[in-house]
Amino acid sequence: MLAAVVRAFGGPEAVEIAEVAVPEPAAGQVRIKVAAGALNPVDLATRAGFFGGEGRTIGLGWDVAGTVDAVGVGAAWRVGDEVVALAPGVAEPLGAHAEYVVVAADAVAKAPASVDAVRAGTLPLNGLTAAQALDLLELEPGSSLLVTGAAGAVGGFAAQLAARRGLVVTGHARAADEELVRSLGAAHFTAEGVRPGSVDAVLDTAMLGAPALEWVRDGGVYVGAQPGRQPGSVRGVRTTAVAVSADGARLAELVRLVDEGALSLRVAETFALPDAAKAHARLAGGGVRGRLVLVP
């Protein structure tokens, strides 16, 4: 089968399409015939060597939508089930940008019935990141939350999910994105920032760091989108970052929201798997609204 891999770190040109063996599911795993999967910034970081693994073949891709093709012992799925899943890992020999991928059975959820595989393939990583980040905030309904990068994939999901939780969301993005951000559930919008100490919490998907922390009131909370890059605590503000984990049950909740029309999936462009390097170059160029999706 074909898979997008990196053997030597570098720019988009480092992405290779390799012929590799079809993986076999072990106990508690399923194999998915991949129909689509989003390209995410974490893939660019993996390709560039941010997570290490020098001298190894490293697979790319975390998001997958497709069909269960084989089932390991004890995995409660059936061949033919249409599913979505998160295939986490930054230094594994095979990722989700491939014709087949093996994942833990408990990382899998039934695919949304209301959208095609291309759109479904944008949900797992960014949806779970947003949901798990909101959990870390531990905010009560009525609390004020500023989401940076609110026009982006994680930020957009976060704005929608936070509004459903009864939080008063301010979206932070470029001025040109105001209409989009408000359509995602933000009650307020800013392109410049807000008064220091004026919100209960910040979810910093744009990783602005210290400037975003200044917007949080004393004793509030800051959650970043990249573990280890959150600023240190000041003024009693609790600072942490989300480290996304696979969770099939939580993913199923997000799928339900998609099918109810409460969570929107945004696709900017699709690329055939052999054109993965072109997709990497497009994402690295910036300005993408919605996800780039690879289709085997």
% of the chain beyond a pLDDT of 70: 100
Listed in sequence order, the DSSP H helices in the chain are 41-48, 117-120, 124-137, 153-164, 178-183, 210-214, 248-259, 276-284
Domains in the chain: boundaries: 2-123+265-295, 126-241
| Neighbour-count burial for 99-130, b at 16+ CB within 10 Å, e otherwise | bbbbbbbbbbbbbbeebebbbbbbbbbbbbbb
Give the CA distances from residue 176 to residues 15, 75, 232, 287, 291, in Å, rounded to whole numbers and listed in that order: 32, 47, 32, 11, 18
Whether pLDDT at 90 is above 80: no
% of the chain beyond a pLDDT of 90: 94
Give the CA distances from residue 109 to residues 28, 121, 236, 247, in Å, rounded to whole numbers and listed in that order: 14, 12, 39, 9
Cβ pair 62, 124 in contact under 8 A: yes
For residue 175, the model assigns a pLDDT of: 97
For residue range 183-226, list pLDDT tens digits in order. 999 999 999 999 999 999 999 999 999 999 999 999 999 999 99
First to last CA, the chain: 10
For residue 67, the model assigns a pLDDT of: 98
Q: What is the mean pLDDT of residues 73-101?
A: 93
Whether pLDDT at 230 is above 80: yes
Q: Which candidate, 238, 231, 226, 234, places its Cα nearest to that of 210? A: 231
Q: What is the mean pLDDT of residues 116-132?
A: 98
For residue 32, the model assigns a pLDDT of: 98
Q: What type of residue sits at position 20?
A: V
Q: Which candidate, 248, 272, 247, places its Cα nearest to that of 111? A: 248
For residue 188, the model assigns a pLDDT of: 98
pTM of the entire structure? 0.96
For residue 293, the model assigns a pLDDT of: 98
Q: What is the mean pLDDT of residues 33-47?
A: 97
Q: Which candidate, 139, 104, 275, places its Cα nearest to that of 217? A: 139
For residue range 268-278, list pLDDT tens digits in order. 999 999 999 99
For residue range 149-183, list pLDDT tens digits in order. 999 999 999 999 999 999 999 999 999 999 999 99
Cβ pair 171, 151 in contact under 8 A: yes
For residue 88, the model assigns a pLDDT of: 84
Lay out the sheet containing 238-241: strands in order across.
188-190, 168-172, 144-148, 199-204, 216-224, 238-241
Decide whether 2-123+265-295 matches 126-241 in CATH topology.
Answer: no
Q: Which candidate, 271, 292, 281, places its Cα nearest to that of 12? A: 281
For residue 101, the model assigns a pLDDT of: 97
Class of domain 126-241: alpha beta
Q: Which CATH architecture fits 2-123+265-295?
A: Alpha-Beta Complex (3.90)
What's the rounded Cα separation, in Å, for the pair 20 and 28?
23
What's the rounded Cα separation, in Å, for the pair 79 and 281?
35
For residue 239, the model assigns a pLDDT of: 98
Q: What type of residue sits at position 197?
A: G
